[in-house]
Amino acid sequence: MDIELAVYGVPLAMFFAAYGFSRSREHARSVSLLAESLEAGLGEPPTLHPVIDLAKCMGCGSCVSACPEGEILGLIDNKATLIEPAECIGHGACKAACPFDAISLVFGTETRGVELPVVGPDFQTNVKGLYIAGELGGMGLIRNAIEQGRQALNAIAARKDATTANMLDVFIVGAGPAGMSASLGALEKKMRCVTVEQEELGGTVAHFPRGKLVMTQPATLPLVGKMSFREVSKEALLDFWQQSVRKTGLKIQFGERVEEIRPLGPNKGFEIRTTSGAYTSNTVLLTIGRRGTPRKLGVPGEDQSKVVYRLIDPAQYAGQNVLVVGGGDSAIEAANALAGEPGTTVTLSYRSGAFARCKPKNRAKIEANRSEGRVNVVLNSTVKSISDRSVVLTRKLDDGARTVEIKNDVVIVCAGGILPSDFLRKIGIEVETKYGTH
């Protein structure tokens, strides 16, 4: 009996001891990451995200390891917990991996609502003839967006309503994954179609940092075929899409922004006004992102080409005087990235007196760059005006406001975007606020 205990009992005890230690370490790490998220004011997920039914969760950790986005979920007291809520992109892999059906995917929370347009199963809104697919409808994942764009276009092509022959069959707004998929579908079906994009091909993906790995799943593009990527760099994915556009002959009108969409009446189509002209179309498909239009400063000189609203490649600003405006993670990450470029002078302007809503690691890094002289941080400041070679800042001090002029070649404004909810309501589209619901 003692021999059997030694042969079987000791290894078993060692296994359980190792397992308990591993779980204890996982618990401590998860508690720490969740505390950091809450301290940084990043406790609310921005879009679709998992909600865990603690009564069903058995703490197996399948959801934790299934998430392809990193340490988004963790185990606390042997229960799955969203420990980095602001980083969750609604991938849904956690729900699929859960063997106990303990995870639901919802929009918004009890304290923070998410506004979404109301769309039917065919992606049509309450405004007949106007469709929405992709990120604007709440599905920002590449594969889902591609599939939604394809399905929405098929629904438009199958319409039985009366159409006007001298109008476009469909006017597509946006050339991200959903817009590109729909546009290729329209080309395949030989529909009269115009696609406009206010920025560049790829939508949100085009604005990812250089070298960022993009998680996706196999998807099928009309006229192109299967897209088999699972993990691919931003540059490689954009290159694939650009090659697809060239090979198929797809025409997209870049640098053109929609200013107004006006319904002409039941089954009478729409009039669309853009920065380049006017169009009439039987249907409209919106495939724009939820970020909407970048929030501007509204100061003299902002219309200059040296003013941009996101950082894509820090290397292009090497040796220049750059002003970054903002105090969130995007602004701080931009300033930190620029600080590593040779000969670049970086100034970070933020209207508040402290960086409250950013990740602790970003805050620590900006403080290190500030103390080492790589970034000039100007708190309690706003941009007053922008000229060709300089920028004037207004800074609030204890003894009043003062202005300071600094040399400048580039201004990068990271002040977020204006959600398109008002734009949708103006057209007549019903928008509802989700508070932790499907």
pLDDT digits (tens, 9 = 90+) for 124-171: 999 999 999 988 877 667 888 899 999 999 999 998 776 777 899 999
CB of 156 within 8 A of CB of 260?
A: no
CA distance between the termini of the chain: 58
Q: Would you state the pLDDT for residue 5? A: 55
Topology agreement, domain 115-292+419-434 and domain 307-416: yes
146: tokens are: 């591609």
pLDDT digits (tens, 9 = 90+) for 231-261: 788 888 899 999 999 999 999 999 999 999 9
The model's confidence at residue 270, banded by pLDDT at 50, 70 and 90, is very high
For 115-292+419-434, which CATH superfamily applies?
A: FAD/NAD(P)-binding domain (3.50.50.60)
Return the exposure string of 393-425: e unless at least 16 CB atoms fall within 10 Å of the residue's CB, then b: bbbeeeeeeeeeeeebbbbbbbbeeebbbebbe
Pairing of strands 410-413, 417-418: unpaired
C-alpha distances in angstroms, 150 versus 46, 182, 192? 25, 5, 16
Higher pLDDT, 262 or 107: 262
Residue 1 scores a pLDDT above 80: no
Q: Would you state the pLDDT for residue 207? A: 74
The mean per-residue pLDDT over the stretch 53-82 comes to: 88
The model's confidence at residue 39, banded by pLDDT at 50, 70 and 90, is confident
CB of 147 within 8 A of CB of 176?
A: no
C-alpha span between 318 and 309 (Å, rounded): 18
pLDDT digits (tens, 9 = 90+) for 386-426: 999 999 999 988 778 899 999 999 999 998 777 788 888 99
Quickly name the fold that domain 307-416 has: FAD/NAD(P)-binding domain (3.50.50)
pLDDT digits (tens, 9 = 90+) for 322-331: 999 998 888 9
C-alpha span between 350 and 429 (Å, rounded): 36
Q: Would you state the pLDDT for residue 14? A: 64
Q: Would you state the pLDDT for residue 243? A: 95
Domain boundaries, the chain: 2-106, 115-292+419-434, 307-416
Q: Would you state the pLDDT for residue 19? A: 58
C-alpha span between 353 and 158 (Å, rounded): 56
The model's confidence at residue 20, banded by pLDDT at 50, 70 and 90, is low
Mean pLDDT of the residues in the chain: 86
The model's confidence at residue 7, banded by pLDDT at 50, 70 and 90, is low
The model's confidence at residue 197, banded by pLDDT at 50, 70 and 90, is very high
The model's confidence at residue 33, banded by pLDDT at 50, 70 and 90, is confident
pLDDT digits (tens, 9 = 90+) for 201-239: 888 787 776 777 676 677 889 999 888 777 788 888 899
DSSP 282: S
CB of 382 within 8 A of CB of 353?
A: no
Q: Would you state the pLDDT for residue 358? A: 77
Ranges of H-type helices in 189-339: 234-248, 329-339
Higher pLDDT, 6 or 262: 262
Taking the model in full, what pTM does it have? 0.76
Q: Would you state the pLDDT for residue 88? A: 81
Q: Which CATH number fits domain 2-106: 3.30.70.20, 3.40.50.720, 3.90.950.10, 3.40.640.10?
A: 3.30.70.20
Residue 16 scores a pLDDT above 60: no
pLDDT digits (tens, 9 = 90+) for 281-311: 999 999 987 766 788 899 999 999 999 988 8
